Structure 1
Amino acid sequence: MHNTRKNIVELLVLLLVWMLLVYGLNVAMAVKRTPELQWKMFINYGFFGLLNFIPFYIYLRWIIPPFLQKNNWVKLLSLLLPLMLGTIVLKYLIADHFFREEVLFSGYRYEHREKVFLYVSATNYFISSLWGGAVIVLAAFSYRFFILWLEEDKRRAILQQQQLQAESGFLKMQLNSHFLINSLNSIYSLALMDSPEVVRAHKTLTDLLAYMVEQPSDIGYRAPIAEEIRYLQDFVTLQRIRTGCQEGIVFRLPEQVPDKEIAPLLLVPFVENAFKHGVTNRPEKPVRITLECTQQQMVFTVHNYISGYQRDKTGGIGLDNVRKRLQLLYPGRHELEILDMKEEYCSNLVINW
């Protein structure tokens, strides 16, 4: 039912465009608008233009598509030629019986002082109409190739979107697994010390994981910036529980958060990187997290002092994946600056909404 309705709509649209080009354009370009000329144009371009649409649509719907699939020239010609020749014969018979003056009349001359009217012969009409028939075939092929090009372009766009979707989901999965490993290590450390904060840390981690699981895999999805901020706050809480030093982390947020959206789980790798490789238990060298957000852009800065301990081997994928995700999600709309100094490390991300 859907295909039938679609085909009917396509037929009506093509017929409308065809008549506008064949009849409407010629009428609009006519210099003289006498009733006789208008009638003649109506017959030649209106009525016979409508007759020419019939083989055009038959070529387009039932002859050209099978040929493009199997590339059978013999079958194509065996269908095209009879239809083209039959259409020319039909048009000549209609013109000869009903519209000789409007279609076939070519002038007159005097013979022995008698006015002799001249009409286009069947042979001449047939030869001249072959060119018109060839143009109709060419128009059908051109339109069919145009439709195929549009469909192929649409398929390429869908495949590209699916590829970006898969790549973005893969990168996010890597980041999530990286985060999970670090968080479990933190809780494991608390458990080894018999810390009473294990239960609270477990609850916070559960909330964090629930938020991560709820995020759709759609590359175009954006989460409210307020939800991302709460996620970061829970993440910071988990790290403070682990270190037992509240002053080791300074988290500055705007007083009012604009109603904006951001790709989910995009900011946490910067914070995670600072906690993993920086000093987090010394108030005089705190990890500083600053988020500034306006209606035009968001600026996210994370600064930390580099720890003297050996870095964890699993810590290398976070920021590399963030760079790739930013290229996928915010091409040409972000700036990422990372300063790796001898004793300090600073990441500064700017996203233009």
Structure 2
Amino acid sequence: MFKKILHFLSVNNRRLILLALFSLLIYSSFFFLSYVVNPGQATQNFTSKVGFPFNILVFIIESVATYYILIFEVILPAMHKERRFSKVVLIAVPLFLAKFILNYGWFLVERTYLERTTPASSTNELSESSISWLLIITYLLDLVISFSAALLVEWVHKGRERIILEKQKTEAELNALKHQINPHFLFNSLSFIYGKVIKLDKDTADSVLMLANIMRYALSKNDSVDGMVNIMDELEHMKNVIEINQRRHNNDLNISYEEQIDDQSISILPLVLITLVENAFKHGDLHDPAHPLFIKVTTGVNELSFDIRNKKGKGIKELSNGVGLQNITQQLSLTYGNRCTFLAEEKGIHFNVSLKIIYSL
């Protein structure tokens, strides 16, 4: 029995402390209001024969027990439908009966003590019917306070659950988006290598090595806590994708590439830039010298900009695996929020994509 009590206190110590502090606040408020109205009567009522500290201790113990039972054993289980109404009543009714017996008995003891020690002319005694109604009103107030506290506890609990669920949802969506986006350029490149092997081209070995590096980058486990990669790694493998696609078309593609990397410490979600470049290769017309594929990457202090423009080819303007640019937009939004702007639009014969990320606001 003693071990169970210790276990209960250790598990619920935070709740009990908060309830004790709240009970002390209520007791202090009652004493202050009574003292303002009638100092002498307040001192007499709150000290009695056992003294002020003992009265405070008894009040706190009774209040903590009452509020704990009402909040965590009656109201919250009823709200969660963990207990039937009949069982809730079987807990609440005996609780208030026991409180009434103890409070009314204490009142009778106190009244007897005051009758013996205080002149009749100096006492303002409550009648037995008055104290009964006062106790009933007090119990109704206990119910209101307990119900309000239970609603607050439920609101805090739901808030914590919502934060956890949103975090889990975000992580799940990011993982799902990554797995949707990652494979598209691998399949295209494997088809290219297959064609090269068939033709026994001398560049096959270099192409296989290049593709292996891209696959390793795409499929390797990211050790970063936030799932980001350094911009230099992303650009290195993006250039490999450009080179592989050039080899697929016998270096006949028209590509203008610019970069200005003033901050090499910038990080980014892996494969985002690579996916946008691969999308341009798949759906753009890059054989027109007058309208080359234009790629520009710049980084500054806490800022990254990426622009890509290609002449529109035939077919739907979406990512290679069919999930569409909306998927990239969602992935960026989940990660960067309002620190990121992503714009994909058609202007005449061109398809433009612009990405800008601010790393600190």
Q: Which residue of 2 aligns with 1:250?
A: 256
Tell me, in whole angstroms, the C-alpha distance in 2 between the residues paired with 1:286 and 1:144: 66
Q: Which residue of 2 aligns with 1:317?
A: 323
CA shift digits 1:251-289 (9 cap, x unpaired): 322243253332222222211112223355676654221
2:129 maps to a residue whose letter is: T
Q: Which residue of 2 aligns with 1:5?
A: 10
Tell me, in whole angstroms, the C-alpha distance in 1 between the residues paired with 2:189 and 2:207: 9
Q: Which residue of 2 aligns with 1:14?
A: 19
Question: What secondary structure does 2:182 align onto?
Answer: helix
Q: Are 1:147 and 2:159 an aligned pair? A: no
Question: What secondary structure does 2:265 align onto?
Answer: coil
Per-residue deviation, 1:162:
3.2
212-221 vs 131-140, greater mean Cα deviation: 212-221
2:180 maps to a residue whose letter is: Q
Are the aligned partners of 1:299 and 1:349 in contact in 2 as well (CA < 8 Å)? yes
Question: What secondary structure does 2:272 align onto?
Answer: coil
Q: Which residue, out of 189, 203, 207, partners 1:197?
A: 203
Per-residue deviation, 1:195:
2.1
Q: Which residue of 2 aligns with 1:260?
A: 266
Q: Which residue of 2 aligns with 1:61?
A: 72
2:293 maps to a residue whose letter is: V
| Change in 2 beyond 3 A, CA 1:80/1:342 | closer
Q: Which residue, out of 73, 98, 103, partners 1:91?
A: 103
Which sections of structure 1, spanning at least 5 residues, go unmatched?
110-114
Per-residue deviation, 1:247:
8.1
Q: Which residue of 1 aligns with 2:280?
A: 274
Question: What secondary structure does 1:351 align onto?
Answer: strand
Which sections of structure 2, spanning at least 5 residues, go unmatched?
1-5
Are the aligned partners of 2:70 and 2:92 in contact in 1 as well (CA < 8 Å)? yes
84-93 vs 43-52, greater mean Cα deviation: 43-52
1:85 maps to a residue whose letter is: L
Are the aligned partners of 1:258 and 1:295 in contact in 2 as well (CA < 8 Å)? no
Q: Which residue of 1 aligns with 2:306?
A: 300
Per-residue deviation, 1:34:
6.8
Aligned residues: 345
Per-residue deviation, 1:292:
1.4
Q: Which residue of 2 aligns with 1:112?
A: none
Per-residue deviation, 1:86:
1.6
CA shift digits 1:286-336 (9 cap, x unpaired): 422111122343210112234579999956434232123233333333323
Q: Which residue, out of 45, 49, 66, partners 2:59?
A: 49
Q: Are 1:222 and 2:233 an aligned pair? A: no
Question: What secondary structure does 2:337 align onto?
Answer: coil
- State the Cα RMSD in Å: 4.0
Are the aligned partners of 1:186 and 1:242 in contact in 2 as well (CA < 8 Å)? yes
Question: What secondary structure does 1:127 align onto?
Answer: helix
Q: Which residue of 2 aligns with 1:23?
A: 27
| Change in 2 beyond 3 A, CA 1:12/1:286 | same
2:12 maps to a residue whose letter is: N
Are the aligned partners of 2:298 and 2:306 in contact in 1 as well (CA < 8 Å)? yes
1:46 maps to a residue whose letter is: I
Superposed, which structure 2 residues align to 1:137-176 within 5 Å? 137-176=143-182
Per-residue deviation, 1:80:
1.4
Tell me, in whole angstroms, the C-alpha distance in 2 between the residues paired with 1:80 and 1:309: 71
Tell me, in whole angstroms, the C-alpha distance in 2 between the residues paired with 1:31 and 1:258: 70
Tell me, in whole angstroms, the C-alpha distance in 2 between the residues paired with 1:317 and 1:132: 63
Q: Which residue of 1 aligns with 2:185?
A: 179
Q: Which residue of 1 aligns with 2:332?
A: 326
Per-residue deviation, 1:175:
1.5
Percent identity over the alignment is: 21
Question: What secondary structure does 1:245 align onto?
Answer: coil
When normalised by structure 1's length, the TM-score is: 0.79
Question: What secondary structure does 1:119 align onto?
Answer: coil
Per-residue deviation, 1:129:
0.7
CA shift digits 1:142-185 (9 cap, x unpaired): 22232223323333333333333333333322221222222212
33-42 vs 314-323, greater mean Cα deviation: 33-42
| Change in 2 beyond 3 A, CA 1:341/1:63 | closer
Q: Which residue, out of 218, 221, 228, partners 1:212?
A: 218
